Amino acid sequence: MSRFKLRFKGANRFVILDIDRDNKILKVSSSKTRYKFVEQPWAMLFDKGKEKFQETISDRLNDNQFIKEIIYSMAKVGYRLVKR
């Protein structure tokens, strides 16, 4: 497991996810945070109501698989990966 940053572009804004899988720390930078990194609950990465189940499954994924799942989830809400 490791740490990585993913930058996404939505309709009119960017979102950067700083993910530390080892320590389960998620920091988000967006227009809502004035592009400062703000720590968010780890569960925010998962669907509401399915957090524990999805976290258990994602713990088994390697980094590339995990990143692909994040990209897929962000695409469902209208964001595309710009930089990895």
Work out the pLDDT band at 1, boundaries 50, 70, 90. low
Q: Is the distance from CB of 5 to CB of 76 less than 8 angstroms?
A: no
Q: What is the pLDDT of residue 11?
A: 87
List the strands of the sheet with 80-83, edge to edge: 38-40, 25-30, 14-20, 3-9, 80-83
Write down the pTM of the prediction: 0.89
pLDDT digits (tens, 9 = 90+) for 18-71: 999 999 999 999 988 999 999 999 998 888 888 888 889 899 999 999 999 999
Instruction: Provide the residue ranges of all domains of the chain, joining segments of one domain with +.
Output: 3-83
